[in-house]
Chains A and B, each alone.
Chain A
Amino acid sequence: MSLLQVENMTHWFGGLRAVSEFNIDLNEGELVAIIGPNGAGKTTVFNLITGVYRPTEGKVVFQGKELVGQPTHKIIAGGIARTFQNIRLFRELTVMDNIRIANYARVHSNPLASMLRLPAFQREEQEIYDRSLEFLAIFGLDGLYDQPARNLPYGQQRRLEIARALATSPKLLLLDEPAAGMNPAEIVQLIDLILMVRKRFELTILLIEHQMRVVMGIAERIKVLDFGQTIAEGTPREIQNNPRVIEAYLGEEETA
C-alpha cells in the first residue's frame, strides 16, 4: 500500500532550481535511500516534504492527504518524523526534555490547566514522563535522562535524535545522513539501530546517506539525485552498475 507519493515536486531558490520534478512512491514498510553528490537537493526534498519549505510546484500526498501548505507541526503530528544531517538537538535541555518535547502534539491539557497544575494535568505529565523514560530505555539512554543533551558523546547524540524523532509516533521516518561523522564501528551499530527501530515501530524509512556501506547494506531501492534531477532509480545492484551514477557520484569517490 502506498504511504507517501511525491509528484513532480520542483523547488526554486531564487534563480536556482534545487529540486526538479522529483517523484517518489513509497510503500508501507519500505526502506528507500536517496543518494547523490553534495548539493544535489537531497535535504531540500526532506524540507519540502516536512513543510519547512513550500514546493514551488508539485504534490505531496501522505496517507491520502495533501501535505503542501500545511504547517510543519501538523505534518509531523500526522505521522512523519525526521532527523538532521548536522545533529540538531535542544542542546541546553536535558535528554528527558528532548524526548518530552516530541510529545507536544499529544498533550491535551490546556494552558490554564497547566498553569494551575490541575490533577488532570499532573496525571498527563506523569504519563508523558513515564512514556519518555521507557522510550529512552529502548535506546539505552535512560541512564542519561538528566544530562543536558550537549554533554552526550556524538554517537549518543545521534541516537537521541533518532529517539526524539520516533517519540512523535511516526509512520514514516526521514533520516538525513545518520552516519555522517561516524567511524566504521559506530556505523555498524547505526545499521543495527535502524533495522531495530524499523521493525519495532513498523516504520517506513526514507534515507539520505553518503556512506555506501549503509545504503547498499539496508536499502531496498535507491534513487540518485544530481543537480536536483533524478538520474537513476533501482535496486542497489542496478545502481552500482549504472554508468550515469558511476559518472556522477560513485566515480568521483573512486578517483578521490
Chain B
Amino acid sequence: MIAKLWNRWKLQLILLLVLVLTILLPAVGVIDDYINLVLKYIGINIILTISLNLVNGYMGEFSVGHAGFMAVGAYTASLLTVLVVPEALNPFLFPLVIIAGGVVAGIFGLGLAFPSFRTRGDYLAIVTLAFNMIIKSALENIEAIGGPRGFMGMSKLTSLFWVFIWVVITVWLARNFIFSNYGRGVQSIREDETAAGLVSVNTRQAKVLTFVFSAFLAGIAGGLFAHELQFINPRSFTIAKSTDMLVMVYLGGIGSLGGSILGATTFTVVSEGLRSLLQVLGISQEWRQVFAPLMLILLMLFRPKGIMGLREWRFLIPQLDRKKEPPASKPQPEVAS
C-alpha cells in the first residue's frame, strides 16, 4: 500500500521537498549568497536551454538570436514592476509580471515566425540574428527606458524558490508539448519536412507554435534574470548571450530535456569555475569570452550529439510513451525436457 502510494507520488514528494529546501537552506545559511546565486543562474539557464532546444533541437531549425526574446521578457517584466505594479504588491504580483514578460516575448516570436517560416533553410538563422541586433539597438536608443545606461529599480524578487518553481513549470510544459501531437509533428519536421507535410502534418502551424512557445520561455527566463540582477542593460542581451545558449543546448544534447538540464548546469558551473580560476591566476576576465565559442566549435567537431542527444530521462516520459517492460510477475512456464 505504502509502496504503491510512494510509486505514484514520489516525484511530487521529491519536488515538494526540494521546494522546501529552496526556502530553508538559504534562510539558515547552509548555502551562502554566492552558491545561491549560482543555483539561480543554473535554473535560469535551464529555462533558456529548454527554450532554445525546442527550436534548434526538436524542430531542427537554427535560431541564433534567442537573447533578443530574453531581452523583451526582461524589459517587459522590469517595466511592469517599476512603473505599473504598486510596490507593496510587488512580491504577490511577481508571477504575473514574469508571465507578462513571457507573453510579450511570445508575441515578438509570433511576429518573427510568420515571415520566417514561409521559406526553409538558413533563413531563420539570419532573421533571428538580425532580430537580436535590432532589439539591442532599439533598447539602446529608447531613452525613456534608460537607453544604453540600462534600466533599474526592480526589487530583488527572484529567489531560489521562484526559480525552482519556474524550472519545474518549464520542464513540465515542455515535456507535455513534446509528447503531444504538436511535439511529434515538430520532430517529424526535423527528420524530413517534406515527408511530414505528406503525412498530413501542418508544418507551418507546428513550427510557428513551437517558436512562439520557445520565445515565451526565453521571456520568462529574461524576467527572472532581470529581477535577480535588479539592473539590466542592452549589453546583457547580445549575440554573446545567444552563443552561451547555443553551447548549453549542444553540450546537453539536442532534442532532450534531460540533456538541457545537464547542459545548462555543466555550462554554468564550468564558467563560474573559470571565473574563479582566472581571478586566482590574475588573468583578465576578458578571456572568458573565448570559452563559449571555443566550446561550441569543439562540441560540433567531437560530440555533435552532446551529452544525451535525442535521449530522455525515463521519469520525464509520459506513461503512455514509456517502453513497456515485459510483465514481470508472470511466471515463465517450465520447459519440459
Contacts and interface: CB of A to CB of B under 8 A. Distances in A.
Task: Tell me whether A and B are bound partners.
Answer: yes
Interface in A89-134: 89-93, 97, 100-105, 107, 109, 111, 114-117, 121, 125-126, 128-129
A103 B182 CA distance: 11
Contacts of B180: 109, 111, 114-115, 121, 125
A168 B176 contact: no
Nearest to B173: A115
A126 B202 contact: no
B194 interface: yes
B281 interface: no
A101 B310 contact: no
Interface stretch (A29-37, A75-83, A239-247): A75-83
B195 A88 contact: yes
Interface string B222-257: 000000000000000000000000000000000100
B209 interface: yes
Nearest to A149: B191
A125 to B, nearest CB: 6
B182 A146 contact: no
B197 interface: yes
B276 interface: no
A88 B197 contact: no
Contact of A91 (B181, B191, B199): B191
Contacts of A91: 191
A11 interface: no
B194 A52 contact: yes
Interface residues of A, number: 40
B171 to A, nearest CB: 12
Contacts of B185: 101, 104
A73 B201 contact: yes
Given A77-B200, A165-B199, A100 B184 contact: yes
A73 B198 CA distance: 6
Interface of B: 173, 176-177, 180-182, 184-185, 187-188, 191-192, 194-204, 209, 213, 255, 310, 318, 320, 323-324
Question: Which 9 residue pairs across A and B have the least CB separation, nearest first?
Answer: A114-B180, A90-B191, A72-B197, A105-B200, A88-B195, A107-B181, A76-B200, A102-B199, A104-B201
Given A104-B181, A114-B176, A146-B324, 4 more contacts: A92-B255, A104-B201, A114-B180, A129-B320
